[in-house]
């Protein structure tokens, strides 16, 4: 009981293991009507696993779930949905070939008895109601990560679930979109829904939650009301078991030679993009998701050739560089899609390490797998990847640990140009602090292009910032220009400074 409010759901003594990895250890948790409960913890602490059990995606090894005082068996996601449980997963559960509307109504038996246009109008009205603008007829494959997140949230809202679980819902949202989401969450709680909010962002948790549950290594270590929290440092120490400083030392570095130059780059989305990056600096690219960041990065990193305009990497033309691209000492790409583009989930960590480093472990026709395994083991220990065993499959890692594995691999290649797309998305505060310091140190020998939806991250790390809107760069300026910084929000909305 909390303030006399009866709980809807109780998870009792839940435990779950994956081989030798104990994700949840004897966890008990109550969800209350009209309350927002935040789950806080490091990567791999067991937050997503616990909520996947509640949502019927996973089955517990032991323990049970109670609904309104009665034991229930959520043997599938369908059973959980029928009981009113809805979850927006950190990694999206969408069908790329279908439209936004088709995804939102997928699995609802009565849905397609209604005319498609009428369904699209329903989606448009729902999106407008919660400030989650989206084109109902667009195909998922054409959407940015931020737009896909909106579709996942709309799916849950359409089902009118009573128990709503949000797993890192703000990682691909701008500050304005996050504010809109929080308004929607508070509105749903006011309507009597029980909400679980999983996040690594302490400011968000303190703003949105009524109660906080802290998990560490699969166990609950603390439950407290937000009103009883004295500081972010207190929460951080509960999460990681040590003090977090919440600061980075950004030492000035003298910019040197140009490592990337883009001249008049244009295509169906991009409009006359001009930029340059030097060794010794971080260029932060910010903007609402879907405004051309992805096609720009895909061209720079060799996935798509320039349609119009020119791209020079280390002074070489795009064609020259990618015709004989070296595996090390050159370009490293850290993509936003860590589960698809960055890794192969069915391979172990050694083989994932070799995806971009294999040329450094070959001798003639032979692959020196043992040496690669030793190097990969050392890297995952240095970067704190859990579980620290190179033989586990990539799919067994939490999202944050998978990202740390990708970062360890790409930094091993000693790049002189780093393109980092949402590099700390889904990472806990301790890991985020580590990655920020790594990027700052890397800029001593490399130029860094940082694409991020987190303005705090962009301003903390970047030497210069470029703001994108509808495929064009609205302005580029130094982070010491406080007047321009104050106008970033307007620029992200297409209003010129």
Interval 150-155 mean pLDDT: 87
pLDDT for 221 beyond 50: yes
Interval 232-243 mean pLDDT: 78
CA 405 to chain centre: 15
User: pTM (2 decimals)?
Assistant: 0.68
Phi and psi at 323, nearest 5°, equal -70, -30
Interval 209-215 mean pLDDT: 94
How confident is residue 406, by pLDDT bands cut at 50, 70 and 90?
A: very high
pLDDT for 361 beyond 90: yes
Q: Do domains 7-240 and 258-492 have the same CATH topology?
A: yes
Interval 253-264 mean pLDDT: 94
Interval 360-368 mean pLDDT: 93
pLDDT for 286 beyond 90: yes
How confident is residue 247, by pLDDT bands cut at 50, 70 and 90?
A: low
Interval 442-458 mean pLDDT: 90
pLDDT for 6 beyond 60: no
pLDDT for 24 beyond 50: yes
The mean predicted confidence, pLDDT, of the chain is 88
Higher pLDDT, 297 or 179: 297
Rg (CA), the chain: 23
Higher pLDDT, 459 or 177: 459
pLDDT score recorded for residue 39: 94
pLDDT score recorded for residue 114: 63
Interval 158-167 mean pLDDT: 87
Q: What percent of the chain has pLDDT over 90?
A: 55
pLDDT for 327 beyond 90: yes
pLDDT score recorded for residue 3: 45
Interval 253-279 mean pLDDT: 95
Helix (H), strand (E), coil (C) string for the chain: CECCECEEEEEEEEEEEECCEEEEEEEEEEEECCCEEEEEECCCCCHHHHHHHHCCCCCCCEEEEEECCEEECCCCHHHHHHCCEEEECCCCCCCCCCEHHHHHHCCCCCHHHCCHHHHHHHHHHHHHHCCCCCCCCCEHHHCCHHHHHHHHHHHHHHHCCCEEEEECCCCCCCHHHHHHHHHHHHHHHHCCCEEEEECCCHHHHHHHCCEEEEEECCEEEEEEEHHHCCCHHHHHHHHHCCCCCCCCCCCCCCCCCEEEEEEEEECCCCCCEEEEEECCCEEEEECCCCCCHHHHHHHHCCCCCCCEEEEEECCEEHHHHHHCCCCCCCEEEECCCCCCCCCCCCCEHHHHHHHHHHHHHEECCEECHHHHHHHHHHHHHHCCCCCCCCCCEHHHCCHHHHHHHHHHHHHHCCCCEEEEECCCCCCCHHHHHHHHHHHHHHCCCCEEEEECCCHHHHHHHCCEEEEEECCEEEEEEECCCHHHHCCHHHHHCCCCC
Q: What percent of the chain has pLDDT over 70?
A: 94
Q: How far apart are alpha carbons 461 and 459 in whole angstroms?
A: 6
pLDDT score recorded for residue 192: 85
pLDDT for 201 beyond 60: yes
Q: Which two tokens stand for residue 497?
A: 């400074």
Q: Where are the alpha helices (DSSP H) in 36-144?
A: 47-54, 77-82, 100-105, 116-129
Interval 166-184 mean pLDDT: 78
Interval 193-199 mean pLDDT: 91
Under 8 Å between Cβ of 367 and 357: no
How confident is residue 53, by pLDDT bands cut at 50, 70 and 90?
A: very high
Q: Which CATH superfamily is domain 7-240 in?
A: P-loop containing nucleotide triphosphate hydrolases (3.40.50.300)
Interval 335-345 mean pLDDT: 88
pLDDT score recorded for residue 184: 83
pLDDT score recorded for residue 5: 46
pLDDT score recorded for residue 378: 95
pLDDT score recorded for residue 111: 47
Q: How far apart are alpha carbons 54 and 87 in whole angstroms?
A: 9
Under 8 Å between Cβ of 237 and 243: yes
pLDDT score recorded for residue 284: 97
How confident is residue 246, by pLDDT bands cut at 50, 70 and 90?
A: low
Q: How far apart are alpha carbons 392 and 282 in whole angstroms?
A: 34
Range scoring the smallest mean pLDDT among 48-62, 227-241, 377-391: 227-241
Cα distances (Å, whole numbers) of residue 418 to 103, 281, 286, 359: 35, 11, 16, 19
Boundaries of every domain in the chain: 7-240, 258-492
pLDDT score recorded for residue 4: 44
pLDDT score recorded for residue 59: 95
Q: Which two tokens stand for residue 371?
A: 């040496």
Q: How many Cβ atoms from other residues are within 10 Å of residue 450's Cβ?
A: 25
pLDDT for 72 beyond 60: yes
CATH of 258-492, one of 3.90.1150.10, 3.40.47.10, 3.40.50.300, 3.10.20.30: 3.40.50.300
pLDDT score recorded for residue 1: 40
Residue 220 in 3-state DSSP?
Answer: strand
């Amino acid at each position: 009981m909390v303030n006399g409010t009866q709980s809807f759901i109780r998870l009792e003594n839940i435990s779950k293991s994956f081989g030798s990895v104990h994700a949840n250890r004897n966890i008990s948790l109550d969800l209350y009507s009209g309350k927002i409960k935040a789950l806080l913890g490091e990567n791999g602490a067991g937050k997503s696993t616990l909520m996947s059990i509640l949502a019927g995606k996973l089955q517990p090894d032991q323990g049970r779930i109670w609904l309104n005082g009665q034991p229930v068996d959520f043997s599938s996601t369908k059973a959980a949905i029928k009981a009113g449980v809805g979850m927006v997963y950190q990694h999206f559960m969408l069908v790329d070939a279908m439209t936004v509307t088709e995804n939102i109504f997928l699995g609802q038996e009565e849905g397609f008895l209604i005319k498609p246009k009428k369904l699209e109008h329903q989606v448009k009205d729902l999106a407008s109601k919660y400030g989650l603008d989206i084109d109902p007829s667009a195909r998922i494959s054409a959407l940015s990560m931020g737009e896909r997140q909106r579709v996942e949230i709309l799916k849950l809202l359409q089902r009118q679930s009573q128990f709503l679980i949000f797993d890192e819902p703000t990682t691909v949202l701008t500050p304005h979109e996050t504010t809109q989401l929080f308004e929607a969450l508070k509105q749903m709680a006011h309507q009597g829904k029980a909400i679980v909010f999983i996040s690594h962002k302490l400011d968000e948790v303190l703003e949105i939650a009524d109660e906080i549950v802290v998990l560490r290594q699969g166990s609950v270590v603390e439950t407290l009301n937000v009103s009883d929290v004295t500081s972010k440092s207190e929460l951080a120490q509960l999460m990681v078991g040590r003090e977090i400083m919440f600061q980075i030392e950004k030492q000035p570095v003298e910019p040197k030679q140009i490592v990337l130059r883009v001249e008049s780059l244009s295509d169906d989305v991009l409009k006359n993009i001009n930029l340059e990056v030097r060794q010794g600096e971080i260029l932060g690219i910010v903007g609402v998701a879907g405004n051309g960041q992805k096609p720009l990065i895909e061209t720079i990193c060799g996935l798509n050739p320039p349609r119009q305009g020119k791209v020079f990497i280390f002074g070489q033309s795009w064609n020259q560089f990618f015709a004989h691209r070296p595996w090390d000492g050159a370009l490293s790409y850290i993509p936003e899609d860590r589960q698809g583009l960055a890794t192969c989930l069915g391979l172990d960590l050694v083989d994932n390490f070799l995806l971009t480093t294999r040329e450094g472990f070959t001798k003639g026709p032979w692959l020196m797998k043992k040496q690669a395994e030793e190097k990969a083991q050392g890297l995952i220990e240095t970067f704190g990847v859990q579980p620290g065993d190179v033989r586990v499959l990539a799919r067994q890692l939490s999202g944050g640990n998978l990202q740390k594995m990708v970062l360890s691999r790409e930094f091993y290649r000693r790049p002189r140009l780093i393109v980092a797309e949402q590099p700390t998305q889904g990472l806990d505060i301790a890991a985020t602090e580590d990655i920020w310091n790594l990027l700052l140190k890397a800029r001593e020998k490399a130029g860094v292009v940082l694409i991020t939806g987190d303005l705090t991250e962009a301003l903390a790390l970047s030497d210069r910032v470029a703001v994108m809107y509808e495929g064009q760069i609205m302005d580029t300026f130094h982070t010491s220009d406080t007047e321009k910084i104050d106008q970033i929000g307007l620029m992200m909305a297409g209003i010129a400074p």
